[in-house]
Amino acid sequence: MEFHHICVIGLGYIGLPTSSMFASKGIRVTGVDNNAHVIDSLRQGKVHIFEPGLNEVAQQALKNGTLQVSAQPVEADAFIIAVPTPFYDDKKADLSYVRSAAEGIVPVLRPGNLVVLESTSPPLTTREVVQPILERSGLKAGVDFLLAYSPERVLPGRILQELVENARVIGGIDDASALAGCNLYRVIVKGEIVLTDATTAEMVKLMENTYRDVNIAIAMEFSRLADRFGVDVWEAIAIANRHPRVKILSPGPGVGGHCISVDPWFLVEKAPDITQLIQTARVVNDSQPEFVLQIIKRLLPDLRGKRVAALGLAFKPDVDDLRESPAVEVVHLLAKAGAVVTACEPFRPDFSIEGVSVTGSLADALRDAEFIVLLVGHAQFKALYPTEVAGMTSARLVLDLVNGFPREAWENAGFTLERLGDRKNSSL
């Protein structure tokens, strides 16, 4: 099966890179988004997402016309749904964007088309949500058109590389749909392509991120235990990981991003009675920002009026993605406790947090600070010379939540450096 025109619905962190990569192979791509600002920006050749290499690939595709943008789906050979799947306050999946995308395809769906859902979704979403909507067209899935699920499995900061190199899972509602999905993605994927059924593919994506979430949760609990027992958790983890069958991950201020902090809840939603471990891991990781606040209160018992420089707001280092970021939650809690917080986020200096000043300038964040907290291990923060920082601020108390600052260098520069999960070396 050949594809000459692909319509990608959703031009966010996954949809735009995917569209750009297909377009870079000479395939005509129409990218669709309901955000007028996104459409207008792209029509002007401006890429609204920071991702290494994306700007160049997208701009070239827009310039040569292989990538065009639209506010509505258009007729095509294949449709890829790459819209967000957030959750409601009760941790249930919000599939409104998926439903809306599928409904937008109905008027332009034609016999022989392939529709692929990429959005991370609870098991059975492809069959029980997307398929019935598409069949309102009068066409039958598996007979008149093909339908598959293929989850994105890429890491922000490496999206373009991993879209090409990572193994791709494609689950069809039937064998023909899975094979058609394979033909589509083989255009850009050099890695292995694994074919299965749609529900298995949905579960595979959730299993991958849930596995990571559970392993992060134990690292978080180890940091709390080390804090209680007077141990350096970073030293303990390094020693434990010398065991050939042990690989403990690193703790931090919490778990963020649109995958690991969200996906496990999709399994809990579908089977709450048999997911106790998954639920517990989520509770542990979601409560880590509050644990961080208690550490800060131990260092500064009265936060009212204290001027805090918070370094980093993104959910992980060196990206501009702040979705579900634990760093943002820590900053919220500090402000709620009465601290005067200035957050430095070089990748999103325009981000807005109520009651908090956000800047892209490290100097502005440090200038009047009394206390510094490293929330995100951005490379530029980890590369700071403590002697230079000492000249930028009178603050001498630092809390490192990601093991990003070398203790000896900072202490030699006159700072008191505290670390998450390290009561062994604490001076307070």
- Cβ contact 314:325 at 8 Å: yes
For residues 55 and 47, is the Cβ–Cβ distance under 8 A?
yes
- Kindly state the tokens that stand for 375: 């929330």
**According to DSSP H, which parts of 44-115 are helical?**
54-64, 96-105
Tell me the catalytic residues: 205, 259
C-alpha span between 353 and 253 (Å, rounded): 18
Closest CA to 28 of 71, 74, 72, 81: 74
d(CA 141, CA 115): 10
Which residue's entry shows tokens 């050979």? 77
User: Closest Cα partner for 330 from 283, 378, 370, 297?
Assistant: 297
Phi, psi angles (nearest 5°) of residue 392: -100, -15
Outline where 51-119 has alpha helix (H).
54-64, 96-105
Please identify which residue in the block is written with the tokens 């990218």.
Answer: 31
What is the C-alpha to C-alpha distance for residues 316 and 322, in angstroms, rounded to an integer?
Answer: 8
Q: Collect all residues with Cβ–Cβ distance below 8 Å to 362 and sequence separation of at least 6.
A: 311, 344, 346, 380, 384, 392
* Three-class secondary structure of residue 184 per DSSP: helix
